[in-house]
Chains A and B, each alone.
Chain A
Amino acid sequence: MSEYRLIHRTALSDKQPVDAAGISLTALPEGHVIHVLAEQSADMSATLEGAAAQTHSVRYVAPGQWFIVGDEPLADDAMAALLTRLTPHAAGVDQSHGRVRILARGPMVECVLAKGSGADLALSAFAVGRSTTTLIGHIAAHLTRVEDNAFEIMVLRGFAESLWDDLMRMSAEFAE
């Protein structure tokens, strides 16, 4: 037994959300994040569509890799059932504790992200539902366009506070 009581705190619990006309930043609930890694040339579309039809969202990462995410924490048996459904041609790794999601929304969101990333995030090139991994400043982050004017930014938990502070600074001119 630990001598100290372990207190579970969300990574961005100390941060005030930004809510302005140009841009808003919100820390999303730390629900679940499962990293799916499939065998080369395995067809995972049916399995992933099945997951997306439930309370999950599926985000593309790279060839053969996806994130299954959601706002609700998964109970042990639901997690086990999901990981079993991915087998035998893929494996799922629970990253719920390790990756934090931030929602950036507003008409200026592309301008904010363009200050940190070289990825082409114009709506014509990067439609709703598309995802990509890119650098925001020096921090690797996974971006998904969830609405015309909103991006979900997923980042490793240890970098979440730094990225939040960077995003605050990048948003400052639009958040008055």
Chain B
Amino acid sequence: MASLVSCPHCGSRPKEEFTVKGAALKRPAPDAGQERWMDYVYLRDNPRGAYDEYWHHTSGCRRWLVVTRDTATHEIAASRDAALDVPETRA
């Protein structure tokens, strides 16, 4: 259940401590062109199944996380620190 979200720094915590930002996508290069940037800013896949999302542990360690959540069952497969463990999502 997504009502408990595991934080790599704090352990399992209720979802009320977190803020969800949305899909964790690779940011295009600044000169990637208008179409790529339109996709990056506005278009989402909305899959049924595993989905990478940014979650912020707002009332905890205040770190940005990348949480892999199943959109159908809300099961959480993985949770990493966005800056320390998932450098490829950064520009």
Contact = CB atoms under 8 A, between A and B. Distances in A.
B82 to A, nearest CB: 12
Contact of B10 (A40, A133, A140): A133
A11 B61 CA distance: 25
Given A62-B9, A120-B12, A135-B16, A40 B83 contact: yes
Contacts of B81: 63
Contacts of A118: 4, 12-14, 16-17
B17 A132 contact: no
Contact of B11 (A61, A120, A140): A120
A71 to B, nearest CB: 26
A135 B13 CA distance: 10
A18 interface: no
Interface residues of A, number: 13
A63 B61 contact: yes
B17 A135 contact: yes
Nearest to A61: B61
Nearest to B3: A118
Interface in A100-150: 118-120, 125, 132-135, 140
Given A40-B83, A63-B84, A118-B17, A135 B10 contact: no
A63 B63 CA distance: 8
A137 to B, nearest CB: 10
Nearest to A134: B60
B27 interface: no
Contact of A134 (B4, B13, B83, B84): B13
A62 B11 contact: no
A38 to B, nearest CB: 13
A133 B61 contact: yes
**Which of B4, B17, B83, B84 gathers most chain A CB within 10 Å?**
B17
Interface of A: 40, 61-63, 118-120, 125, 132-135, 140
Interface of B: 4, 9-14, 16-17, 59-63, 81, 83-84
10 cross-chain pairs, A with B, having the tightest CB-CB distances, nearest first = A62-B61, A118-B14, A140-B59, A135-B59, A133-B60, A135-B17, A118-B13, A132-B10, A120-B11, A62-B63
9 contacts: A61-B61, A62-B63, A63-B84, A118-B14, A119-B10, A119-B13, A125-B11, A132-B61, A133-B61
